Amino acid sequence: MEDNFRHSVVEALILASPEPLPGRKISGLVEEMTPSKISRAVAELNDRYVQSGSSFRIRELAGGYQFHIVPEFTGYVQELFARRRKLRLTRAALEALAIVAYRQPATKVDIEHVRGVASDGVIHNLLEKNMITVTGRATTVGKPLQYGTTDEFLKFFGLNRLEDLPKMSEIEELISSIEAPAQPELNFEDVLVEDEIGGKLNVADDAISADETEAGDEAERQVEDEAADEAGEEPIIPEEEEPSGGNGNRGSGVIIDMDTT
C-alpha cells in the first residue's frame, strides 16, 4: 500500500469520525500505520491543505484527530449557525469546574473549601453535562468520592490534554495585569478560556459566551442560572430557532462533522 493511499485513508477515517479519532484506532484499521506514521501523515495532510489554501486542518483534540475550520473562516460559519441553541455554564459551574481541573482528583469538600459554599447542586449539574466524572474514593475519613474532568471537558475548551491548561502562574499574571486601574475588571470565564494568543480557546461545537447585543438579557438570565445551579437544577435556557441544514458546529476551531449513513 503506497504512502499517498495510506494518507488518504487516514484522511477519510478522520473526516468520517463524529468524535476525535485516536491514533490507535487508525493503526488498527490501516495496514503498517503506527502512531508515529499517523502523526507524520497528519502533518503532511495539513501541509497539503496549507498549500492549497483550504479552510480546514486536522488537529489533535482530546487524545484524537479531528477536522476543524481555521480562524479566518469561522466568522462565516458562526453567522450561519448564529441562532443555534447554546450550551452555557454558570459562574458557579465554572468555578467548581476550574477547581476540579486544577486539583483533580478533587472531592466535594475540596470544592466547597475553595468556593466557600455548598456545591452539591453544581457538582450534580457538571456530572449531568459530562464535564466531570467520578474517578474513585479518597482514603480520608468517610472515603468521599473523588472527581476528575472528562474528554468532554477537553473538547468543550478545545484542549488536547490537561497539560494544555494555562499554568496558574500565567493566570496570576493575567489577573495582575487586568487589576491595574486602567484595565477593566477580569471576568472569571475569560481567565478559564483565554489562550496564549489572546483569543478564546475553541469550544468545539458549543459556545459559552452570549452575544454582546444580548448583554442585558444575559445578565438577567445569569442570576436565574446561578440560583438554579446552586440548587441542583438545570439552568433554564430559552429555545432558539434551529437553522435548516448543517450540523451547527461552531467555535474558533469549528469541527467538520460528516454523516456517513
CB atoms within 10 A of CB 106: 24
227 has pLDDT over 70: no
What average pLDDT does this structure show over 111-124?
91
25: Cα within 13 Å, side-chain hemisphere = 10
Predicted pLDDT at 197: 39
**Which of the pair, 161 or 50, is modelled with greater confidence?**
50
What average pLDDT does this structure show over 140-160?
90
Q: How confident is the model over 177-199, as pLDDT tens digits?
A: 765 554 445 454 544 544 443 44
Return the amino acid letter for 173.
Answer: E
In a 10 Å sphere around its CB, with 0-12 CB exposed, 13-18 middle and 19+ buried, how is residue 178 labelled? middle
Q: Is the peptide bond before 105 cis (omega within 30 degrees of 0)?
A: yes
Burial 240-260 (b: 16+ CB within 10 A, else e): eeeeeeeebbbbbbbbbbeee
Closest CA to 115 of 132, 97, 139: 97
Rg (CA), the chain: 20
Percent of the chain with pLDDT over 70: 64
H or E element: which one contains 56? strand 56-61
Pick among 3.40.50.10860, 1.10.10.10, 1.10.3720.10, 3.40.640.10: CATH of 91-230 = 1.10.10.10
Average pLDDT, the chain: 75
Domain boundaries, the chain: 3-80, 91-230
Q: Where are the beta strands (DSSP E) in 98-171?
A: 106-107, 132-137, 145-149
3-80: CATH class:
mainly alpha
Predicted pLDDT at 124: 92
Q: How far apart are CA 85 and CA 97, in angstroms?
A: 22
| Domains 3-80 and 91-230 belong to one CATH topology | yes
What average pLDDT does this structure show over 232-249?
47
Q: How far apart are CA 222 and CA 33, in angstroms?
A: 49
Predicted pLDDT at 208: 42
Three cell numbers, residue 103: 486539583
User: Given the C-alpha cell 461552531, which residue does it identify?
Assistant: 250
